[in-house]
Amino acid sequence: MEEPAAPGAAGPPANGNGNGNGNGNGGRAKQAAPKGREAFRNQRRESEGSMDCPTLEFEYGDSDGHAAELAELYSYTENLEFTTNRQCFEEDFRTQVQGREWLELEEEAQKTYVMGLLDRLEVTSREQRLKVARAVLYLAQGTFGECDSEVDVLHWSRYNCFLLYQMGTFSAFLELLHMEIDNSQACSSALRKPAISIADSTELRVLLSVMYLMVENIRLERDMDSRGWRAARETFRTELSFSMHHEEPFALLLFSMVTKFCSGLAPHFPIKKVLLLLWKVVMFTLGGFEHLQALKVQKRAELGLPPLAEDSIQVVKSMRAASPPSYTLDLGESQLAPPPAKLRGRRGSRRQLLTKQDSLDIYNERDLFKTEEPAPEEDEDPAGDGERALDGELDLLEQDPLVPPPPSQAPLSAERVAFPKGLPWAPKVRQKDIENFLEMSRNKFIGFTLGQDTDTLVGLPRPIHESVKTLKQHKYVSIADIQIKNEEELEKCPMSLGEEVVPETPCEMLYQGMLYSLPQYMIALLKILLAAAPTSKAKTDSINILADVLPEEMPITVLQSMKLGIDVNRHKEIIVKSISTLLLLLLKHFKLNHIYQFEYVSQHLVFANCIPLILKFFNQNIVSYITAKNSISVLDYPGCTIQDLPELTAESLEAGDNNQFCWRNLFSCINLLRLLNKLTKWKHSRTMMLVVFKSAPILKRALKVKQAMLQLYILKLLKIQTKYLGRQWRKSNMKTMSAIYQKVRHRMNDDWAYGNDIDARPWDFQAEECTLRANIEAFNSRRYDRPQDSEFSPVDNCLQSVLGQRLELPEDFHYSYELWLEREVFSQPICWEELLQNH
């Protein structure tokens, strides 16, 4: 996979905040001053506009509302096909049932009709099969022609999907999907076309739509569901989780479609529908985020570990968002201070700076984040040129009108933040932290260490005893710690401990199926994510992800072009949403199942440049991305099926959605940040990648979004790299450090704020990754590679036993047995003396 460009090292920032007018020549600072002031004014206007952004009322969950998730399955280009599906159903229904409608039939009559539909699917005519499949799709869409409201459409869609599943529709469509995937004629036809449109994937889109509607409707749990529906849901979950009838799990088939699409062998695949279905199948079979929390509690109880101190989901929900960053009041906390000689040469500059700093302190008491990076800050400079930041800083210091009012005039009481009385998270301590603390204390006070002994405190002063007691009170043993310890014991004593019993859970079966093709799966997903990112530039060698959104005839009017532009942007946003959530779910489930499964997936994501890709995604105006309105509410399912579509006008394109933000875009941003946290947590080499790609200013710009969960994961990413950013950075971003202290969990003895940690030394980073990779390979080899001639295979030394073994011989061997004896035994001279001498 082509490595995305380092977001902080090349090209201007996506939101246009970079000041590229400075240079390294101090003598040319005055020439650059007007341009620098203009850039700062633009920056100030943008930040003042973003300050008006209210706190976003966003509730994080497994997915959006039911209607929204169904609506995202269809592109606006597909809306004409709703009518086609209805016509196909009504033509077939009239030939089978006379004078009645679908909703008027009894359940048995409905089942009889569905059985007839499935029988008519097994015809040789491709055109006839498509018509029957469209009729089934119309049923799954809720027979909207007979409904009066959106609620009715959703109700009958769910009812029909359970009915279709009980009659075996999913299995029938799975066979048709296999046929379409292996259809070489369709693939070669698409490869020959200069431009692929929505018409090239008609059959696949119909099949995938039916399967998605069935998975999404059956997955949804309601209190009033009957016992039969609950049983059907569990049976469906089991069928999707495990290999049925000697076939691979359904998720693996979808993964293979993704890799085939990215390889260029099947460019006509409707990749958005494939990814949406893959995400929902993984969530249905493995479980969502709340189910993960329950599994974690259950597994800790099974391992004899103490219960969790808090529910992380509930803690995050109770957090309040902090004020967004401001670029207008950063003069006193710039990263690069002006040279002393320049300050001495400027009259009154010292008093002016002190006034600025005092005013800033007053302002910062009210606002948690009002110390963010100045406009031309060194680590935000797109060219990485520190001198440009210095020149820009000198220009800004000349602007007297920007000095805040004196302390006496600053309104203090109106906007003072009410800080919480306690920290939101219980602190944690690892066993390694206690060992390091005791090792340092013993070296200091008694001159030698006792290795991993954390109980012997002889010779240590009383305060050290109290410190160790406090550390042990907050000691946290994770499931991963137990799994790593067990793995080490299995590696040391494979014979005495015997073979490990691995429970066949859905997560374990999925990992076994993905194991040997997992690198290709991860690369394919990241390629699609790169193509869908709004910051990506169109390249000739990039994959085409718009095959299932572009119409056969391109738009000819401005309004049609506007509609298609909205549709394309919405299409990309949905792809980003599905991939980000899919990757996060896989990482969290694999981590709970076994830590080395999680590490294996993580390493391949890192090797495929996932970290710079996510940073590239965030190197844009995140506020604009989250508040983007790339949707046309009148064209969304199910509303578009029960009302006459209005004439296409500029007003109808903008009507409807009055939400202050786009749910899926905020959801995607949070998931990408969580994914980045998963990849970098406790990995110093990967944290250095964040530093190398200059992620700090990119992440701090995203703090403008007033949403607590998003801010929490940004602050986590800033916390892990503060020790590498240098003292000057920490000094000039003290209020961000305070925000980290208030919102992020504390690790006792974690020297994140000062940078004195021994782990901050860079020379062991390569060895760290190599050691981890060796442990992963040993785990996969021990658990999943079982060669017959292994080192520990039992050897049979009994001659009679060996000669008495029955060997599987080919059928024709019995006919040529005598010839074989003559050729291989009787006609071969045996020199017995030589044989005895050799032995």
Q: How far apart are CA 544 and CA 541, in angstroms?
A: 9
Longest C-alpha distance within the chain, in Å? 115
To the nearest 10°, the Cα dihedral for 339, 345, 351, 355? -50
Asked if residue 741 and residue 821 are part of one domain, the reply reads no
Task: List pLDDT tens digits, range 190-225.
Answer: 888 888 889 888 999 999 999 999 999 999 999 999
> Looking at this protein, which amino acid is placed at residue 794?
P
Whether 103 is in a domain gets the answer yes
Whether 470 is in a domain gets the answer yes
**How far is residue 177 from each of residues 251, 488, 544, measured CA to CA in Å?**
13, 44, 22
Q: Which residues pair with 429 in a beta bridge?
A: 475
- Look at residues 719, 745, 771 and tell me which one is the last residue of a structural domain: 745
Asked if residue 210 and residue 121 are part of one domain, the reply reads yes
Residues 275-297, mean pLDDT to the nearest whole number: 95
Does 247 have pLDDT greater than 90? no
Least confident of 79-88, 167-176, 381-390, 678-687: 381-390
Does 106 have pLDDT greater than 90? yes
**How far is residue 770 from each of residues 1, 678, 767, measured CA to CA in Å?**
21, 19, 5
What's residue 462's pLDDT? 92
Given a contact cutoff of 8 angstroms between Cβ atoms, the answer to whether 641 and 82 are in contact is yes
Query: The domain containing residue 191 runs over which residues?
Result: 66-287
Q: Is the peptide bond before 638 cis (omega within 30 degrees of 0)?
A: yes
The token pair at 541 is 């060698």
Task: List pLDDT tens digits, range 310-359.
Answer: 888 888 888 888 775 554 333 333 333 344 444 344 444 444 433 433 33
* Best CA proximity match to 379, nearest among 13, 716, 763: 13
What's residue 603's pLDDT? 95
What's residue 507's pLDDT? 95
392 pLDDT band (50/70/90 cuts)? very low
Asked if residue 831 and residue 709 are part of one domain, the reply reads no
What's residue 388's pLDDT? 40
Asked if residue 704 and residue 813 are part of one domain, the reply reads no
Asked if residue 717 and residue 813 are part of one domain, the reply reads no
Residues 601-607, mean pLDDT to the nearest whole number: 96
Given a contact cutoff of 8 angstroms between Cβ atoms, the answer to whether 71 and 723 are in contact is no
What's residue 11's pLDDT? 39
Q: Is the peptide bond before 503 cis (omega within 30 degrees of 0)?
A: no
**Residue 779, C-beta contacts closer than 8 angstroms, at least 6 positions apart:** 487, 594, 596
To the nearest 10°, the Cα dihedral for 10, 14, 20, 24? -40
Asked if residue 268 and residue 128 are part of one domain, the reply reads yes
Task: List pLDDT tens digits, range 52-71.
Answer: 567 888 999 999 999 999 99
What's residue 835's pLDDT? 66
Given a contact cutoff of 8 angstroms between Cβ atoms, the answer to whether 211 and 276 are in contact is no
The domain total for the chain is: 4
What's residue 234's pLDDT? 95
Q: How far apart are CA 461 and CA 436, in angstroms?
A: 17
Q: How far apart are CA 573 and CA 533, in angstroms?
A: 8
What's residue 4's pLDDT? 46
- Look at residues 691, 719, 745 and tell me which one is the last residue of a structural domain: 745
Least confident of 32-41, 300-309, 573-582, 766-775: 32-41
Residues 444-459, mean pLDDT to the nearest whole number: 86
Whether 101 is in a domain gets the answer yes
Task: List pLDDT tens digits, range 359-368.
Answer: 333 333 334 4
- Look at residues 265, 287, 309 and tell me which one is the last residue of a structural domain: 287
What's residue 56's pLDDT? 87
User: DSSP letter at 161?
Assistant: H
Whether 309 is in a domain gets the answer no
Whether 124 is in a domain gets the answer yes
Whether 32 is in a domain gets the answer no
What's residue 342's pLDDT? 40
CB atoms within 10 A of CB 319: 16
Asked if residue 833 and residue 686 are part of one domain, the reply reads no
* CB < 8 Å & 24+ apart, contacts of 667-670: 667/60, 667/64, 667/577, 667/581, 668/573, 668/576, 668/577, 668/580, 668/581, 669/618, 669/622, 669/625, 669/626, 669/702, 669/705, 669/710, 670/60, 670/707, 670/709, 670/710, 670/713
Whether 446 is in a domain gets the answer yes
Handedness of CA 626, 632, 635, 638 (dihedral sign): positive
Asked if residue 814 and residue 732 are part of one domain, the reply reads no
157 pLDDT band (50/70/90 cuts)? very high
> Looking at this protein, which amino acid is placed at residue 515?
L
Asked if residue 191 and residue 85 are part of one domain, the reply reads yes
Task: List pLDDT tens digits, range 663-692.
Answer: 999 999 999 999 999 999 999 889 999 999
What's residue 24's pLDDT? 40
Whether 183 is in a domain gets the answer yes
What's residue 665's pLDDT? 95
Does 422 have pLDDT greater than 80? no
Given a contact cutoff of 8 angstroms between Cβ atoms, the answer to whether 656 and 695 are in contact is no
Does 656 have pLDDT greater than 80? no
Asked if residue 117 and residue 204 are part of one domain, the reply reads yes
3-class state of residue 22 by DSSP: coil
518 pLDDT band (50/70/90 cuts)? very high
Handedness of CA 553, 557, 563, 568 (dihedral sign): positive
- Burial label, 592 (beta-carbon count in 10 A; 0-12, 13-18, 19+): buried
What's residue 331's pLDDT? 33
What's residue 36's pLDDT? 47
**How far is residue 678 from each of residues 125, 506, 529, 604, measured CA to CA in Å?**
50, 22, 18, 13
Residues 548-562, mean pLDDT to the nearest whole number: 88
Residues 503-531, mean pLDDT to the nearest whole number: 94
The token pair at 99 is 């004078």
Instruction: Using alpha carbons only, give the angle 815, 821, 823 rounded to the nearest 5 degrees.
Output: 105
Mean pLDDT for the chain? 80
